[in-house]
Chain A
Amino acid sequence: MSVIVLLLIASIIVASLFLAAFIWSVKNGQFDDEASAPLRMLFDDKPLNKEEK
């Protein structure tokens, strides 16, 4: 039985971490501009890096 209590605590802690991550991301402004983020990730790195390779 005590195992269940232990599991409960673990599960709620994990869930709380996700909640914290969510709150942090909202605070960080990640949901303010939904249009540019999906575009931004498609861009290659700077052309300079290509030359180095």
Chain B
Amino acid sequence: MSRKENAVSVQCYHCGEDCSDKSIHAHEKEFCCEGCKMVYEILNQNGLCDYYSISKNPGINQRIKIRENKFSFLDDENIQQSLIVFKDDNQTHISFYLPQMHCSSCLWLLENLHQLNENVISCKVNFTRKEADIIFNHRSVSMRQIAEMLTAIGYEPYISLSDAKKAKPKLNRSKIYKLGIAGFCFANIMLLSFPEYLGIDAKEQNLIDVFRYLSLILSLPVFFYSSSEFYISAWKSLKHGFLNIDAPIVLAVMVTFGRSVYQVLTATGSGYFDSMSGIVFFMLIGRVLQDKTYEQLSFERDYTSYFPIAVTRVKDEKEETAALPDIKLNDTLLIHNQELIPADGILTRGKAVIDYSFVTGESLPVEKEMGEIVYAGGKQIGSNIEILVVKEVAQSYLTKLWNREEIKQNIKDEERSFVHLLAKYFTWIVLFLSITSATYWYFHDIHKMWGAATAVLIVACPCALLLSNTFTNGNILRILGRKHLYLRNAQTIEDIANINYIVFDKTGTLTTGRYNEINYDGMPLNKDLKRKIAALTSQSTHPMSKAIAAWTNESSRIKVVAFEEFAGKGIEGIVDGELITLGSKSYVTGGHAERDVESSVYISVEGTVLGKFSFRNQYRAHIPALIKTLQKNYQLAVLSGDNAGEKDFLQELLGFDAHILFHQKPEDKLDAIKTLQQKGKKVMMIGDGLNDAGALKQADVGIAVTENSNNFTPASDAILEAKELPQLFKFIQLCKDNKKVVMSAFIVSIVYNIIGNYYAVQGMLSPMHAAILMPCSTISILLITFGFSNLSAWRMKLK
């Protein structure tokens, strides 16, 4: 211990990891491992050491070695075909997803890939999506070599089954075009309107006509192209018998345009072209801001992006690569360390220690013996194993879950926002006003009738409501995004504000999913005995043994004789003449096996039971504090796929009325959420694994928690980085404030509306009044929405 404290902390030159205890000294620099050193050497040889001067310690830790022929599947013609974007005689274009990319050095190095290998023609990085578009000469370098080169410098491409599907969705840029054109027309029409507002000599009637007709021409693209955004959405909702906010806006735009065209053609006025194009322009800005979601994150992932694209198949004693969809019944698959089991099968060779934590929520790896069934989705830890496929990939337990009806359907009504409801009332009031004023003028001064009626529609369009809504949503999305809570769309903000029940998953969400805390109950162990335990446990590769070995904090070279390991039971061996047994309760004490209530290992020496080690999950930091705050406002529950070892602790944490259920299968979780919803609860589900996928989708709001937002996450409404989980309560509060901000901006806009209507009903609304009112109300709305939403974020210290 003291040695560590005294040592000056040494950082790895490559990855920046602390390596004070054992560093490798080479090239006058310190490295934490051979891997990092090797990357440095590669870069050094190729004169790419600028890599280290752009950002400090930019590298990726290389401690975990990647299997040598991991990318051998890229030699397969079919798999190559499914990945290639474009290919001609000399060049191949390919796009790799490189999740390790994180800084400007990464960008620089990857774009200089051609210096590492002259056959790379170019490499262009898309930093937001963490993708590299690589063009290479396939005559002299293979795709596999490219992937291996990337891996060698620390950027291992992540290739999953979902990459094999062709045709990536094309980016929709139409909104940007519409915005650009609306802006162009708006500014020019504005310019052309000034002379008339400021007073132009009546003698120059010709000039007035030129200005008016030019405005008319310039407003055509706005009316026919830019506004189509609103026409489409309004038409869609009308078809469903629903009046959304776009409907009254479309009405206002059409009335304004019609009246303006009439005025210009009959030479009775200059029309409201500037106000119309201006409002369309601002509304489009709002839409673009609000819809700018996180395209680098995928909220729609299914199992295909979790599964590998290819696996190793053993056929006639030879290993070959097979694309995953080609796996048939009775194939034998070779699964390497840390690889995923892609299909349900029977273990035929080797010892399986399978980590199902992501799939089922069980926090401990499961040991399987030959002849036992292993389910798809688990990760093998340890040596290689072989399995005989008994169910095809599409039929396996895990993929079946995805094919359930509840998960498949994705009809989340986007139009349940309160804004649409408000717009509906608003529309009726406006129509009523318009008709009233028309009737009034019909009896008093029939010439003013049409003018007054249309003016009311023009002034009172609920564009202010749309503006305040879109701008506030956009701003809140950005504030949350900066805090690493990424929402799928703006509707999610409102959904989060409305929840009243929060369901947590345990493994991986509340806990880190690792066993870090070990408690020992029983007779005290002296140092000598601890050393013996360490000697015994270090013989075994089982994760629990490893954890106990680490817990003893001893290293010993005592010889262990007659060591034996009984899978699923325990280990024993004679250490220094004493028979020590470690294992499950039934194995060590001979008592009958209870259903696993907790994860524990019993110890006995020479037949006397000394005590037990109980394993506790490590809870994420500040979880108890978060629960305490949430408890006051929400009902809480925990649905865990794990054993009930933590029940008492959780019950105490969440309070005695909280539902805490263990041994929950993915379907159970989904059904539990459904039952809650049937009772009228608005449920937020927070989970991380594939076993939560159904529940996440079923819940009113599903938040996927992840250590790194670029990792695989099940389909959800939002992705939250685990370290920000303690802030959850503040996030919910901010979403609630969203509505208040929208409402206050809307009330202000109503004041403008009343002023405008005052003129409108009297038939006195001149284009100039409209031209003053429109920017005034727009600017004050923008100030209110940005100001208030930032203020409330700042108050909650989320800024």
Contacts and interface: CB of A to CB of B under 8 A. Distances in A.
Interface of A: 1, 4-5, 8, 11-12, 15-16, 18-19, 22-23, 26-27, 31-36, 39-40, 42-44, 46-48
B204 interface: yes
B207 interface: yes
A35 B128 contact: yes
A23 B207 contact: no
B128 A34 contact: yes
Contacts of B610: none
Given A15-B187, A39-B127, 4 more contacts: A4-B207, A23-B180, A32-B126, A40-B111
24 contacts: A1-B206, A1-B207, A4-B207, A8-B210, A11-B191, A16-B184, A18-B184, A19-B180, A23-B180, A31-B173, A33-B127, A33-B129, A34-B128, A35-B127, A36-B107, A36-B125, A36-B126, A36-B128, A39-B104, A39-B108, A40-B107, A43-B54, A43-B108, A43-B111
Contact of A42 (B104, B127, B184, B210): B104
B180 A26 contact: yes
Given A15-B184, A39-B127, A31 B176 contact: yes
Given A1-B204, A1-B206, A5-B210, A47 B47 contact: yes
A3 to B, nearest CB: 11
Nearest 4 pairs of A and B residues by beta carbon:
A36-B127, A35-B127, A39-B104, A19-B184
A27 to B, nearest CB: 7
Interface in B141-187: 171, 173, 176-177, 180-181, 184, 187
B329 interface: no
A35 to B, nearest CB: 4
B50 interface: yes
Interface string B95-117: 00000000010011001100100
B555 interface: no
A34 to B, nearest CB: 7
B429 interface: no
Contacts of A43: 54, 108, 111
A2 to B, nearest CB: 10
A22 B50 CA distance: 34
B436 interface: no
B180 A33 contact: no
Contact of B128 (A5, A15, A33): A33
B395 interface: no
Interface in B181-208: 181, 184, 187-188, 191-192, 204, 206-207
Given A32-B126, A39-B104, A44 B180 contact: no
A46 B180 contact: no
Contacts of B115: 46
Contacts of A27: 173
A26 B126 contact: no
Interface residues of B, number: 30
B214 interface: yes
B107 A26 contact: no
Given A40-B107, A43-B108, A33 B126 contact: yes
A45 to B, nearest CB: 11
A36 B127 CA distance: 5
A16 B210 CA distance: 18
Contacts of B54: 43
Given A19-B180, A35-B128, A46-B115, A12 B173 contact: no
Nearest to A32: B171
Contacts of B191: 11
A42 B111 CA distance: 13
A23 B125 CA distance: 22
Nearest to B50: A47
A26 B207 contact: no
A11 B188 CA distance: 9
Nearest to A29: B171
Interface in B542-569: none
Nearest to A18: B184
B108 A22 contact: no
Nearest to A12: B188
Nearest to B49: A47
A36 B132 CA distance: 12
Contact of A26 (B112, B177, B206): B177
- Counting chain B CB atoms within 10 Å of each CB, the highest count among A4, A23, A33, A36 belongs to A36
Contact of B176 (A19, A26, A34, A47): A26
B210 to A, nearest CB: 6
Contacts of B184: 15-16, 18-19
A23 B187 CA distance: 17
B112 A46 contact: yes
Contacts of B126: 32-33, 36
Contacts of B204: 1
A44 B108 CA distance: 10
A23 B177 contact: yes
Contacts of A36: 107, 125-128
Contacts of A4: 207
Given A8-B210, A33-B127, A15 B188 contact: yes
Contacts of A19: 180-181, 184
A47 B192 CA distance: 53
A47 to B, nearest CB: 5
B401 to A, nearest CB: 34
Contacts of A8: 192, 210, 214
A26 B129 CA distance: 17
Contacts of A32: 126, 128, 171
B173 A26 contact: yes
Contacts of B206: 1
Contacts of A16: 184
A21 to B, nearest CB: 10
Nearest to B218: A12
A12 B207 CA distance: 16
Q: Name the residue in A4, A5, A35 with the highest tally of chain B Cβ atoms < 10 Å from its Cβ.
A: A35
Contacts of B187: 15
A18 to B, nearest CB: 8
Contacts of A44: 50
Contacts of A1: 204, 206-207
B225 to A, nearest CB: 12
B190 to A, nearest CB: 12
A16 B214 CA distance: 14
Contacts of A18: 184
Nearest to B101: A36
Interface string B574-594: 000000000000000000000
B128 to A, nearest CB: 5
Nearest to B124: A36
B107 A39 contact: yes
* Most B CB within 10 A of own CB, among A5, A12, A42: A12
A41 to B, nearest CB: 11
